[in-house]
Amino acid sequence: MDILIGIIVLILGAGVAGMGLRVWFWMLPILGFMAGFFLGAIIVFQIAGDGVFATLLSWVVGALFGVGFALISWFWWYFGVIIAAGAAGAALATGIASSVGAERSWVLLVFAIIGAVVFALGALFLNLPVYLIIANTAIAGGLAVISGLLLVFNRIDLDDLGMGHATAAVEDSLWWWLLWIAIIVAGIMAQLRFTSLVDLPEERFVPTSAAVRP
């Protein structure tokens, strides 16, 4: 199961990192669901103390959060930008925390919250949606690729995903960090080619269906 999920995560991550801007509006519900699913599962983990995906409750709560985030991302497209920014900020923050020796789950959670809030506020107040989308999808997509590889090669278990992909990557080897950075750079460069082909709406909080250009 871990290998199958790893392959799926790897493929999705590569697509997000390299074509995030081009298919942004169609990805919004998917990204929203993934962010909400992991958030809900982590909340159950922090309360119950079991593995992130060890109980039916964590899957149910994760699914409910996921559907909620997906709907929000669909009805207000810019919330998708904010959600993607928050996910990228949480990943980077947990990675930095791990690199300086933080191991306790509550410490990593605090760093994740701080990173998510900082990046989400930046996405809210900075009027650079195209470049925010490119940067955040490259970061999140690259992280998914690393996570998929770690699952495929049995370097982490499925439960490790809930505590932050970057945490597992940093603790495993510096080479995973370097690969992640390389994927981010490659993803940004690939997506910059699409900037002239994507017309983002001036109004931020309109439904995704209204924002999509034929």
Tell me the per-residue pLDDT of 93-148, one tens digit each, with 9 for 90 and over: 877 777 677 667 777 778 888 988 998 898 888 877 788 888 888 887 888 888 88
Averaged pLDDT for residues 199-214: 64
Percentage helix, strand, coil, to 5, in the chain? Answer: 80, 0, 20
Q: Supply the pLDDT for residue 51.
A: 58
Tell me the per-residue pLDDT of 51-106, one tens digit each, with 9 for 90 and over: 556 677 878 888 898 899 888 888 888 887 888 788 778 877 877 777 677 667 77
* Contacts of residue 126, Cβ cutoff 8 Å, sequence gap at least 6: 132
pTM for the model: 0.70
Q: Note whether 119 and 85 are within 8 A (CB).
A: yes
The domain limits of the chain are 2-19+77-196
3-state secondary structure (DSSP) of residue 27: helix
Tell me the per-residue pLDDT of 1-31, one tens digit each, with 9 for 90 and over: 668 877 888 888 888 888 877 777 777 787 7
The residue assigned the tokens 């909620």 is: 68
Tell me the per-residue pLDDT of 36-60, one tens digit each, with 9 for 90 and over: 887 787 777 667 666 556 677 878 8
Quote the DSSP letter at residue 206.
S
Residue 214 has pLDDT above 50, yes or no: no
3-state secondary structure (DSSP) of residue 19: helix
Q: Percentage of the chain with pLDDT > 70?
A: 79
3-state secondary structure (DSSP) of residue 66: helix
